[in-house]
Amino acid sequence: MPYAIGIDLGGTHIKYGLVDREGNILYESIRRTRHPDTFLMESIHDTVREVRQKAGDRKIEGIGLGVPGILDGHRVIGCGGNLPELEDLAPGPMLAISFGGKVVVENDANLMGLAEARWGSARNAKHVVFLTIGTGVGGALILDGKLYGGYRNRGTELGHIHVAGGNRPCTCGAVGCLEAQASVPALVEEYKGLLPHAGESIDGKMIVMRYLEGQPAAVTAMNRHFNYMASGIASLINIFSPQKLIIGGGISEAGDFYVESIREKALALAMKETSEYTAIEAASLGNKAGFLGAAALVFEDEKK
């Protein structure tokens, strides 16, 4: 049974594991992305060495790496805000020189979506839209069973579609993007605007807890969040008519009410014809999705 090394490179932590072709995890761990006096690529190399050691004599098919940026050929771009050390580097060829064999690199949100399509909530679906809601809003498209990234992999920035009623400035330079309106920081900002003396320690989890307790400001903020999410999702359904629309990210694990509320509102906005065969569901792989998707990409590439 061949295995792949999957690595999910985040701004704070690297999540990684050794995964087989069926999505079973033989070994997994996590480490901090940055260490004093250690370059980013050295941390990635150390990660690969650790997993190779754990693999022993098992056959390793290749290395998959998920990065918070855009892949233009081998170069990583658009990640200056998260990992400026990675900007304009070509980590795939660098890893291939060090370790040999197959190395594939892709955007982290794309890989989360791929993992859900292969081994998670969208298993066996060929047409999938994936959204992850956190500090930002990322997404992935699986069209006819394959990841789709647009020309030169510059597209599928699903967090940057405009949503109805959106007027917040976005980090991308536009106004009213799904990310600017429905990310967790946007939810916190919304709540603090309704309750100016809420305090600095407010986070998404606290707002969800207060929402479930029926606190008026939290209910209003969450309902606005649901409306923005529903507006963006309805547009994505009308365009792509996916079999599955999967919602991931930490806040999606708050409880069944979260996806149920978005589902109800989104399906009320989407065209009946485009949404007839679409199921809106929560992601199931949690924070393992990134490195699982990186491993899945190794096996995807194997089939080409």
Backbone φ and ψ of 89, nearest 5°: -85, 160
Lowest mean pLDDT among 57-61, 244-248, 300-304: 300-304
The CATH number of the domain holding residue 30 is: 3.30.420.40
Number of domains in the chain: 2
Give yes or no for a contact between 60 and 2, defined as CB atoms under 8 angstroms apart. Answer: yes
Together in a domain, 141 and 231: yes
In terms of domains, do 140 and 272 share one? yes
pLDDT average, residue stretch 129-139: 94
Residues 131 and 280 in one domain: yes
Together in a domain, 279 and 145 = yes
Same domain, 85 and 28: yes
Answer yes or no: do 12 and 130 share one domain: no
Q: Is residue 118 part of a domain?
A: no
Could you tell me the pLDDT band of residue 304, with boundaries at 50, 70 and 90?
very low
Q: Which residues pair with 63 in a beta bridge?
A: 5, 103
For the chain, strand residue ranges (E) read 3-9, 13-20, 25-32, 60-67, 70-72, 75-77, 102-107, 128-133, 137-143, 146-147, 244-248, 279-282
**Considering only 22-26, 34-38, 199-203, which range has the smallest mean pLDDT?**
34-38
Range of the domain at 54: 3-113+287-303
Residue 96, pLDDT score:
96
pLDDT tens-digit map of 176-235: 999 999 999 999 999 999 998 887 899 999 999 999 999 999 999 999 999 999 999 999
pLDDT value of position 36: 63
Number of alpha carbons in the 13 Å side-chain half-sphere of residue 261: 19
Query: What's the pLDDT at 37?
Result: 61
Could you tell me if 71 and 159 lie in one domain? no
